[in-house]
Structure formats: C-alpha cells, structure tokens
C-alpha cells in the first residue's frame, strides 16, 4: 500500500508548484513579450513578409506586404499564392520550381519577380524565401523588397549606357581615345569598319598604324618615329591637346592612307578634347572624312560658276523674284530686254512695272500673274505666254518659264523670259498663209518625209473627192494607180539631179479620185532637206488640167488641119521667097556699093577741100554740097556694116588702096603720110572689121565684103 504524503510534504509540494507556476508565468510573460516584439518587428519591417503553408496558401502578411500588394491582410490570408495572379503568367513556372526547392528545406534567393498589385500596377521585387518551423509545422516565409526605383534607376543607367554605346559605335565618323604615347585606348565600330578591322584589333595600336597611314612603317619603330611623322598634322594636333589642354574644333587636315592596295588622299575635319580618366591624360579625337564633301563643294562651286556663266551669258532674260513680287536680280539679257541701264535700275522695278495693265485675254495682269504664281507653287514650275512691257512703254510678247526655288528658308522664283515677237509674227503669217491657201482653187498639200499628209486645203481634197479631214495622215499612194507609181518612180530617178539641185520639180501626173475615176494634173513638188541632205517634208501644188487637156486635144486637131493648109501655102511661098531674097540681096549689094564708094571716093576729097584755103562763099557751097550728099545717102537703108560706116576718111583712103593691092610703103607715099601712120590705119581697119588676131588677109576681106 502506497504511503500517503504528509501535510508537510503537501505544503512543500505546493510551494514548489507555486514556484514553478511563478517561473512559468515569468517565462510566459517573456514569451509574450518576445512574441509581441517579434510581431512588432514583423509588422514594422520595411520588407514585405509573406507567410504561406506548403500549398502556397497565405497564413499571414505584414504591413509592408500590404503596401507592396495593395491588398489588406484579410484579403490575402487564406488565398493561394499561385491562384491569385499575383505574378505574371510567364513567372509562375519559375516561382513554382523555387517554391518546391524551399519546401525541401533549401533556402532560395535573392530572385527578382514582378508583383501584380490590386490596383493593376506592378512592383519589381527582390525575393528571398526560407523554410521555417512554427508551432512544429513547416512554413514558407518569403521576404520581398521593393526594388522598383532601383530597377528604374538601373534601367535609366542601362539605357543611358546603351545610348552612349550606340552613339559611340554608330557615329558616322572616326572616334579615338588616344594616350600621350599616340596609342589608341578606345575606338568605335565606324573606325574599325573603315579600315577593315575589329575594334579589339585597333586598341593598343598607334593611330597611324590603325588608320593605315602610308607613312606608318617608314621606320622599323613604326608610327610616330619617321620623318613624315614629325610634321603629321593629326599627331601634332592630338599631342598638343594632351600636353597643353588646348582643344581643337573642326581643324582641316590632309592624310594619305591605303585603301586596300591603293593609296588615297583624304581630307578630314579633326576635333580634340582633353580628358583625365583615372589620373591619366587622354585625348578624345573625332575625325570626319570630308573628302566627298570637299569634292561636292568643289562641284557645287563649279556648278554655281556654270550657273553664273549661263545666267550672265544667256540670250534669254533671267530674273529672280521674291514673294513680294520684287525683282531681286536680272542678267544682262533681262536688263537689255526691258530697256534698263544696269541691274540697280532693273531691280528697282516691280513685276507690275514690266507688264501692261491687261493681258491679251482681257485679264488684269496683276490678277493673272497671281494665277501663274499659284500654278508654279503647286507644280514647282510653269510655262506660259505673257505680254511684257519695256521701260519705255513698248509692249512685246514673250514666253515665261516660272520656276520655284528655295533659297535658305525663303521661296523665290526664277523667271526665264524669251521674246517671241518674231514667232508671233510668224504665227500670224502662217494663219494668213492658211487662210489664203484654204481659199485657193489650186490644191495645196504638205506631207512628212514618209509621204504622209499633214496638211491639205479644200481645193486639194475636193479635186480628189475627199473632205479635208479624211486625208490627214493618209499616204500619197492613194492618189495614184500602180502603173502611175511605176512611171513616177522612174521619172523621179530621172529628175533626181534636178530635185537635189533646185529642191523642186514639175510633172504631169494622172491622179485617182475617191470614186476611182482619174484626172490629169500638173503637180509641182518642193522638198526641204536638213543639213545631212535628208528630206524633212515636202509641199505639193496640184492643178486639175482636165479642161486644159480637152482644149489641147481640140487645138491639136485644128493645128493638124491648119498644118495641111499651111504646108500648101508654104510651097507657094518658097518660090516667091527665093525671088525676093535674090532681089533683096542685089539691092543690098548695090546700096552698100553706092554708100561705100561715096564714102571712099567723095568724102575724102570733101575733107581735103575743107582743109584747103576756101573763101567764105566757097565754104558755104561746100557745106551745102556735103549736106545734100548726106540727105541722098540717108534715103538708103542703114543696113550697111557699121565697121564700114565708122571708117574715117583717112581710113577709107587707106582701105581703097589696100583693096587695089598697094603695100604699106606705097600707101604712105600716095597719101603723103609716114610709114608708121599707114601701119596704124591698117591696124584700125582690121580692128573695126573684127580681124584683129585673125589669120585673114585684109585685101581679101575688103574685096569680098564691098563691091566696086
């Protein structure tokens, strides 16, 4: 039987229990205090605490977690983490794998996740997760830190770095970071591509070697040590910046480098800036190849010079006009065309000053000018006719090419003006020509070099049985039969020389009407050729000679009848003509003999009598005798040889003696003249009888031409 505790033992036991109770209460209070402190720490922790069971269901969250998620604690507790779409779908798989590792007791983190807030926003989190024991049960504690600002700053920094890298690598010019030893510390992609290398291969190489300078290896030491290096503009500029801190901006230098196997000269704009990176002085170098730009500038300058030359030497008037319609400049042709003294006087004018009040269509020049400008603004250029006015008020017609041009930020217009007064007169002449030809009864037509009609008047169309518009574009062959075409072909060959020489030929041709009937025509064709003797066009005039042909046939019939009668009459007349001719010859011979003998026998002695010492009465009788002889001679027909009549009295005496067979010496003695004078008279007689330089005997000629 068990012994019962004594009273003292009970009291002792009670005291021990009370002591243990006090200890337990103290421990409980401490635990409560610890729990309260932990709760406070849990609540006020700056990071979000999420406590979940092993299925992912929330057991508790702190205040920071509420702020991160936008949910109240009560809204989250009991909800499953994987079912509330707190993470983007793309991150759920990653979260599930990590959660499984944590359940196995493996701590995890930090990992980055994106938390979907209740309000639709998102928060970037850095998450650490642990497996913990609470009241003997395994729980998962996830500690989340808001890194949104950090991520934003990181993104800004990354973007900034990417932008700088992109700018650096994609800058369309050479960028070098060079140290005091002329060595490249950094460069960009553009430089590497330019020389056909990679960026890494260019770093730590001297500038001349990297840029393939033709003098880089003039010496074994390489770039920077050769004679050419001492005066290298690029090297001196960079070293000057590093040593003195003097920055250079767009300094123009020239370099020679290898482009593959070929040596090329290039022009660069170089800019330098001194930098101090990690206590080391460096030069940031920018090099822009302006070789093409310089070439373009040269071409532009040449183009400007050509434009200036064309502007100054153009025969057309060229003027520049601003939007206020003021004349800014004019070339010499414009100044002359509008009757101004110089460009200063010309530019003092307004567009209104060089136009009459109205244009030919009755529109105000000011109104129509605005219409033309509007069209030029829309189409960039506009070509039109315009009536201008010179300074002296004289009006003239012109064509205008109005072109819109941009000069800086200002729009101006270039007007190219050509005086077409002569053209207008030509047009008027052509209109008059067409009016005249259209009303002519002669058929007129014009065709191209291939024989296609381009114009014909009413008479031409009507004589062929057509209307005018039916013939335009038709070939000439429709007016001829095949037989006629063959005849014309041969005729044209015969007339080829004539056509080439004169550009014209006439031909009688049988032509075919629209109804198939034919008619005779007189066709006149003119060909016009270019400088290479190739035909440009032809002009033809056609006359219907049907009535003339009928008249010719009738005339031929009458002529035939008349011919028979004439033949009979001619036979009768022939005999009479023989007799009359013989009589006329005898008469003429007699008259010539009388006249010549009078000149030969009488006149010389009359002349001698005049030279003798006659008194006044004897001279009067001599003059009466001479006049009466002349009156007698004037009754004879003046058909005597002019050479005979024009012989002087002395020449007549000489001629008579020559006819008698006297020599020159005998003639000189007979006439009491010198031998030389007798020779001169003989030569004059031969000359008057056209015997000079002819092998004809003078005496024989005189005997045959003059009867005694």
Q: How far apart are CA 222 and CA 313, in angstroms?
A: 57
Q: Which residues contact 495 (CB under 8 A, 6 or more apart)?
A: 505, 507
The pLDDT value given to residue 487: 73
pLDDT at res. 499: 42
Residue 325 CB coordination number (10 Å): 15
Phi/psi at 234 (5° precision): -65, -50
Contact 649, 655 (CB under 8 A): no
Q: What is the largest CA-CA distance in the chain?
A: 242
Length of the chain: 708
Q: In the CATH scheme, what is the code of domain 29-149?
A: 3.30.450.20
- With 0-12 / 13-18 / 19 or more C-beta atoms within 10 angstroms meaning exposed / middle / buried, residue 143 is buried
Q: Could you give the CA distance from residue 183 to residue 211 in angstroms, rounded to a whole number?
A: 12
Q: What are the backbone angles phi and psi of residue 285, rounded to the nearest 5°? A: -120, 130
**CATH number among 3.90.550.10, 2.40.440.10, 1.10.10.10, 3.30.300.130, domain 584-705:** 1.10.10.10
Residue 666 is predicted with a pLDDT of 86
Residues whose CB is less than 8 angstroms from the CB of residue 177 and which lie 6 or more positions away in sequence, other chains included = 184, 185, 186, 187, 275, 282, 283, 284, 285
Other Cβ atoms within 10 Å of 111 Cβ, number: 15
Q: Which residues pair with 455 in a beta bridge?
A: 446
Residue 536 to residue 450: CA distance in whole angstroms: 9
Burial class (CB in 10 A: 0-12, 13-18, 19+), 9: exposed
Q: How far, CA to CA in Å, does 446 sit from each of 178, 259, 391, 496, 528?
A: 82, 65, 43, 20, 11
CA distance linking residue 79 with residue 446, whole number of Å: 104
Whether 267 contacts 254, CB under 8 Å: yes
CA dihedral 484→487→492→494, nearest 10 degrees, is -160
HSE-up (13 A, CA, CB side) for residue 368: 17
Q: Do domains 314-419 and 584-705 have the same CATH topology?
A: no
The domain segmentation of the chain, as residue ranges, is: 29-149, 171-295, 314-419, 425-544, 584-705
What was the pLDDT predicted at 601?
63
The pLDDT of residue 501: 44
d(CA 238, CA 255): 14
Q: What integer pLDDT is reported at residue 270 of this predicted model?
A: 92
Return the residue matching tokens 């003429």: 588
Tell me if 352 sits within 8 A of 368, measured CB to CB.
no
How far is CA 95 from its chain centroid? 71
Q: How many CB atoms lie within 10 A of CB 544?
A: 19
CA dihedral (684, 690, 691, 692) positive or negative: positive
CA distance 72 to 601: 174
Select from 240, 255, 234, 259 the least CA-distant residue to 176.
Answer: 234
Gap between the Cα atoms of 404 and 102, Å rounded: 77
Residue 219 has phi, psi (to 5 degrees) of -125, 160
Cα–Cα distances in angstroms (integers) from residue 272 to residues 177, 199, 279, 532, in the given order: 10, 20, 18, 66
The pairing of beta strand 108-116 with beta strand 122-134: antiparallel
Of 683, 689, 686, nearest to 641 by C-alpha is: 689
Q: What is the pLDDT of residue 477?
A: 85
Q: Is 171 exposed, middle or buried (0-12, 13-18, 19+ CB in 10 A)?
A: middle
- What was the pLDDT predicted at 372? 92
Q: Quick check: 443 and 541 in contact, CB under 8 A?
A: yes
The residue whose two tokens read 């065309």 is 337
CA Rg, the chain, in Å?
65
pLDDT of residue 222: 83
Query: What is the pLDDT, as a whole number, of residue 494?
Result: 46
Task: Say yes or no: domain 425-544 is CATH 3.30.450.20.
Answer: yes
Q: How far apart are CA 259 and CA 672, in angstroms?
A: 116
What pLDDT was estimated at residue 271? 92
Closest CA to 104 of 79, 150, 50, 140: 140
Cα distance from N-terminal residue to C-terminal residue, the chain: 231
- Using DSSP, state whether 434 is helix, strand or coil: helix
In this prediction, the residues of the chain whose per-residue pLDDT falls under 70 are: 1-5, 25-39, 41, 260, 488-505, 530-531, 586, 589-601, 603, 633-646, 705-708
HEC string of 247-286 equals CEEEEEEEEEEEECCEEEEEEEEEEEEEEEECCEEEEEEE
Phi, psi for residue 508 in degrees, rounded to 5: -85, 125
Q: Report, at the CATH architecture level, how domain 314-419 is classified.
A: 2-Layer Sandwich (3.30)
Residue 401's pLDDT is: 93
349, exposed or middle or buried, with CB in 10 Å at 0-12, 13-18, 19+?
A: middle
Backbone dihedral region for residue 287 (phi beyond 0: left; psi -120 to 50: alpha; all else: beta):
beta
> Which pLDDT score, from 0 to 100, does residue 26 have?
67
Phi, psi of 621 (to 5 degrees): -65, -40
pTM of the model: 0.36
Question: What is the fold of 171-295?
Answer: Beta-Lactamase (3.30.450)
């Amino acid at each position: 039987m068990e012994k019962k505790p004594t009273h003292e033992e009970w009291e002792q036991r009670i005291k021990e229990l009370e002591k243990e109770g006090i200890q337990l209460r103290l421990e409980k209070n401490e635990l409560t205090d610890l729990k309260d402190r932990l709760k406070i720490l849990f609540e006020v922790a700056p990071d979000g605490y999420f406590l979940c069971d092993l299925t992912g269901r929330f057991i508790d969250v702190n205040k920071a977690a509420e702020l991160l998620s936008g949910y109240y604690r009560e809204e989250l507790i009991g909800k499953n983490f994987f079912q509330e779409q707190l993470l983007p779908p793309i991150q759920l798989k990653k979260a599930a794998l990590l959660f499984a590792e944590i359940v196995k007791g493996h701590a995890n983190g930090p990992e980055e996740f994106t938390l979907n807030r209740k309000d639709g926003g998102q928060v970037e989190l850095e998450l650490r997760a642990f497996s913990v024991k609470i009241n003997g049960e395994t729980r998962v504690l996830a500690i989340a830190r808001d890194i949104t600002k950090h991520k934003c700053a990181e993104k800004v920094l990354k973007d900034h770095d990417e932008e700088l890298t992109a700018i650096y690598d994609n800058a369309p010019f050479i960028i070098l970071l060079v140290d005091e030893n002329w060595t490249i510390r950094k460069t960009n992609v553009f430089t590497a591509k330019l020389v056909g290398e990679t960026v890494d291969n260019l770093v730590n190489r001297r500038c001349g070697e990297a840029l393939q300078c033709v003098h880089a290896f003039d010496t074994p030491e390489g770039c920077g040590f050769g004679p050419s290096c001492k005066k290298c503009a690029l090297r001196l500029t960079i070293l000057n910046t590093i040593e003195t801190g003097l920055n250079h901006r767009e300094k123009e230098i020239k370099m020679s480098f290898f482009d593959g196997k070929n040596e090329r000269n290039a022009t660069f704009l170089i800019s330098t800036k001194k930098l101090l990176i990690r206590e080391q002085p460096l030069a940031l170098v920018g090099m822009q190849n302006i070789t093409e730009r310089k070439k373009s500038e040269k071409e532009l300058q040449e183009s400007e010079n050509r434009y200036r030359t064309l502007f100054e030497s153009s025969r057309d008037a060229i003027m520049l006009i601003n939007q206020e319609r003021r004349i800014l400049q004019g070339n010499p042709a414009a100044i002359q065309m509008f009757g101004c003294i110089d460009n200063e006087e010309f530019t003092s004018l307004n567009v209104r000053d060089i136009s009459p009040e109205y244009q030919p269509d009755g529109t105000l020049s000011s109104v129509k000018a605005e219409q033309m400008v509007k069209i030029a603004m829309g189409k960039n250029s506009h070509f039109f006719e315009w009536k201008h006015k010179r300074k002296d008020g004289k009006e003239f017609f012109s064509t205008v090419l109005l072109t819109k041009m941009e000069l800086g930020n200002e729009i101006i217009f270039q007007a190219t003006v050509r005086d077409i007064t002569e053209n207008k007169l030509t047009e008027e002449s052509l209109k008059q020509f067409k009016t005249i030809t259209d009303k002519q009864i002669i058929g007129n037509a014009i065709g191209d070099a291939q024989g296609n009609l381009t114009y014909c008047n009413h008479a031409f169309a009507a004589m062929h049985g057509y209307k005018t518009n039916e013939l335009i574009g038709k070939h000439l062959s429709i007016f001829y039969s095949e037989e006629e075409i063959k005849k014309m072909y041969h005729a044209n060959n015969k007339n080829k020389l004539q056509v080439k020489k004169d550009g014209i030929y006439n031909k009688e041709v049988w032509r075919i009407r629209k109804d198939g009937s034919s008619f005779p025509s007189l066709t006149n064709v003119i060909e016009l050729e270019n400088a290479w003797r190739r035909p440009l066009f032809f002009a033809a005039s056609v006359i219907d000679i049907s009535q003339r042909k009928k008249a010719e046939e009738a005339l031929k019939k009458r002529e035939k009848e008349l011919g028979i009668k004439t033949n009979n009459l001619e036979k009768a007349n022939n005999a009479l003509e023989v007799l009359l001719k013989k009589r006329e010859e005898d008469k003429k011979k007699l008259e010539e003999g009388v006249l010549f003998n009078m000149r030969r026998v009488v006149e010389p002695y009359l002349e001698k009598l005049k030279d003798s010492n006659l008194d006044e009465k004897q001279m009067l009788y001599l003059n009466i005798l001479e006049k009466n002889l002349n009156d007698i001679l004037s009754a004879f027909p003046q058909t005597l040889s002019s050479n005979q009549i024009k012989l002087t009295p002395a020449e007549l005496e000489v001629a008579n003696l020559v006819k008698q067979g006297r020599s020159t010496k005998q003639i000189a003695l007979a006439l009491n003249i010198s031998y030389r004078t007798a020779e001169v008279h003989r030569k004059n007689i031969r000359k008057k009888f056209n015997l000079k330089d002819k092998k004809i005997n003078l005496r024989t000629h005189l005997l045959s031409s003059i009867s005694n």
